[in-house]
Structures are given as C-alpha cells and as structure tokens.
C-alpha cells in the first residue's frame, strides 16, 4: 500500500514564508474573538468554576503537538510519589461519542476514550476521566477520591479555575512566525505565556540545556527501551542503530518523532499520519520487511494487529529536580501530610 502523507500544518507557520492574504485577514477576527472571550472571563461576564481540589493545567499556545502527554504522565507519577492521589481530566479529542463522559480503563477501546487518555491510563494506573465538560470531569475525579486534578490540554479552557498552568513548547519550532491562527500557529497572543506558572521547553533527546532561555524549564525525553507490539523481550533503542526502519507517527507533529529516531542513529523511512488517526492493518503495508517503529500513542490503537515486526518507542519526560520542588511550593501539601 502506498501511504499518502497528509500535511499536518500550513508550511508558512514555520518556514519563514509570508502567510497568504486570506490567512492574515482571518487572523484579525480570530484575535478579536480571543480578546473578547478572555475579557469576558476576566470581568466575570462568563463564569469560572472552582472545584474543591488543586488543578494543574498542561497546555500550549501553539496548535499541534508539543510533548504534553509525556509531561502529564511524569506529573502524575511525581505527584503520587509526593503523597497526592492524582486524577487526569481530558477532553479525549477525536473519540467517538465525544460528548459522552467516560472513565478510561487500561483495556478500553481507544475509539471510545481517545488515544492520549488511554495511554495515560495505561502508563500511570491513575483515574482518567474524559468529558467535553472539563469542570464536570474535575468534579467526577474529586468525587472518586482524587485530591488533585491534572488537565491534559485546556490552557484556553478558562471556565475551569486552575491553580497551576504549565505551558509546553517544542524547542525546534518554538512559536513559529508568532502570528495568531490561521496566519500562524498561535492559539493566543504571545504575551499569554507570561501568565503561565511554568514554561517547559521540550528538548527531545538532546542533552544540551543551552536552548532553554531564562524562565524556561528544560524537559528531555528518554527512551528507556523499545518494546515489541506483540509479546516479547524489550530492546534498547541502540539495538536499531544504523538500521533502516519504517517510522510511524500519527501525532500532532510527526517530525518530532522522526527527528528523535534520526538523532539516535536510525535511518528513518517516515510515515506521517494525521493526529489521532484510526489505524487499520492495511496502513502498515509498506512493501518492504523493515522493522516498524511507532509512538506509544499510536501503539494503543494497534495492539490487536498482527504486526510481528512492529516496535513501540515509549518516552519518559525528565525535568530538573528544581522543577518538581518549585511545583510543590505552588501547591498545598496533600491531606494528611
């Protein structure tokens, strides 16, 4: 099967070329809507809702992927180690029956839960609630015994009052041309970043901290091991060093995954799918018997496929100890501590 690669983002967002006139024209009414909406919440014309537990929102200003999910997983693990009982609220973008609230169990169907919430549930064993209404999701988590809520995405969802905001930014792309949608990739004006409690810079596999500017927390992604999609023994990523591999990514920014593999010394044949793509076995008919490496987010949708040469590349977010200490300073101690 010949895979048709779909464009993930307009090229002018990041390549330095001028946006077309129609994109520049549409960005003006978009900016007006964003400004009016923010003002309405700020002045109480639209109501904000507070739940009875702390809320941490992980999001980004740029449309598309930036590495939020690995950070959410790391947050849940760190909060649990500090004595909290965290739960995760997500809209579950791309799922069927999108307005039906649902608890996400580790063995659930990704079409009903969304791929990212299912990955988070499998990686953390935390309570995960998907709901179009994030306020309702946070309240359901509190009722289920969670004493802190982590929101996967939702930086622009002002209806839910949050105690901590964490902006995640991709170090390779940053803010692109710095323009608002659709002329550029920004969901909100650049000055919105200053309102966030923490700004995290996703450096991928790079070990250098030099790309992180003042006020930014560096986040590295670590590949602990590559796991077969079917049962079998895990291998280090370096076992594929120098090999030619098919790389599959249906995430917000597939090139991030491909670049990570190239930086590890793999010869990548890239296969970019749309974000939240619903895979079918025929999608993997690449015409050559190379190993197939995919993201963990893609793997949750392919678990039942007969793909003996497929491998999953999970990543773990690593941040400085000072980041976790600063986060705890912003939060009240969990009950009983």
- pLDDT recorded at residue 231: 74
Question: Do the domain assignments include residue 12?
Answer: no
Instruction: Among 75-89, 101-115, 150-164, name the one with the lowest average pLDDT.
Output: 101-115
Domain that residue 69 falls in: 36-221+318-330
Residue written as token pair 């690669």 = 5
Higher pLDDT: 212 or 200? It is 200
Model's pTM, two decimal places? 0.88
Dihedral sign computed on CA atoms, order 324, 327, 329, 332:
negative
Burial class (CB in 10 A: 0-12, 13-18, 19+), 37: middle
CA nearest 111: which of 136, 130, 137, 138?
130
Question: Do the domain assignments include residue 11?
Answer: no
CA nearest 264: which of 202, 201, 204, 174?
204
Residue 1 has pLDDT above 70, yes or no: no
65, 169 contact by CB (below 8 A): no
Question: Do the domain assignments include residue 97?
Answer: yes
Mean pLDDT score across all residues of the chain? 87
Question: Do the domain assignments include residue 192?
Answer: yes
Residue written as token pair 């649990």 = 80
Domain count, the chain: 2
d(CA 226, CA 120): 18
Dihedral sign computed on CA atoms, order 326, 334, 55, 169:
positive
Q: Are residues 98 and 165 in the same domain?
A: yes
- pLDDT recorded at residue 224: 79
**Residue-wise pLDDT tens digits, 253-274:** 788 889 889 988 999 999 988 8
Residue written as token pair 């809702």 = 49
- pLDDT recorded at residue 105: 87
- pLDDT recorded at residue 10: 84
Question: Do the domain assignments include residue 20?
Answer: no
87, 150 contact by CB (below 8 A): yes
d(CA 285, CA 108): 26
Q: Are residues 270 and 144 in the same domain?
A: no
- pLDDT recorded at residue 55: 96
Question: Do the domain assignments include residue 243?
Answer: yes
In this structure, what CATH number is given to the domain that contains residue 64? 3.40.50
Higher pLDDT: 312 or 107? It is 312
Question: Considering the chain, what percentage of its residues have pLDDT values greater than 70?
Answer: 93
Residue 5 has pLDDT above 60, yes or no: no
**Residue-wise pLDDT tens digits, 291-300:** 999 998 888 8
Question: Do the domain assignments include residue 19?
Answer: no
- pLDDT recorded at residue 250: 84
Q: Are residues 296 and 194 in the same domain?
A: no
Question: Considering the chain, what percentage of its residues have pLDDT values greater than 90?
Answer: 49
- pLDDT recorded at residue 163: 94
Mean pLDDT to the nearest integer, 8-21:
86
């Amino acid at each position: 099967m010949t895979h048709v690669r779909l464009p993930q983002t307009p090229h002018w967002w990041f390549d330095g070329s001028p946006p077309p006139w129609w994109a520049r024209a549409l960005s003006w009414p978009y900016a007006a809507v964003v400004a009016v909406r923010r003002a309405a919440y700020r002045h109480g014309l639209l109501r904000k809702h507070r739940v009875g537990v702390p809320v941490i929102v992980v999001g980004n200003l740029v449309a598309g992927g930036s590495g939020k999910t690995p950070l959410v997983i790391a947050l849940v693990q760190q909060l649990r180690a500090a004595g909290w009982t965290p739960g995760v609220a997500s809209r579950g973008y791309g799922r069927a029956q999108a307005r039906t609230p649902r608890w996400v169990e580790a063995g659930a169907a990704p079409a009903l839960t969304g791929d990212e919430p299912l990955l988070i549930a499998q990686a953390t064993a935390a309570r995960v609630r998907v709901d179009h209404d994030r306020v309702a999701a946070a309240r359901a988590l509190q009722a289920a015994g969670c004493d802190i809520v982590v929101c996967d995405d939702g930086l622009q969802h002002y209806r839910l009052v949050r105690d901590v905001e964490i902006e995640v930014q991709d170090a390779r792309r940053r803010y692109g041309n710095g323009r608002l949608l659709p002329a550029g990739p920004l969901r909100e004006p650049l000055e919105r970043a200053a309102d966030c409690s923490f700004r995290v810079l996703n450096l991928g596999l790079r070990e250098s901290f030099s790309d992180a500017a003042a006020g930014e927390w560096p986040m590295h992604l670590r590949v602990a091991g590559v796991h077969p999609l079917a049962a079998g023994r895990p291998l280090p990523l370096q076992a594929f060093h120098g090999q030619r591999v098919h790389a599959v990514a249906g995430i917000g920014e597939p090139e991030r995954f491909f670049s990570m593999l190239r930086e590890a010394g793999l010869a990548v044949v890239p296969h970019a799918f749309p974000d939240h793509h619903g895979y079918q076995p025929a999608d993997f008919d690449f015409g050559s018997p190379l190993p197939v490496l995919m993201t963990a987010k893609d793997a949750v949708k392919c678990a039942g496929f007969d793909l003996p040469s497929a491998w999953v590349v999970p990543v773990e977010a690593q941040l400085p100890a000072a980041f976790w200490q600063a986060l705890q300073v912003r939060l009240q101690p969990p009950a009983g501590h």
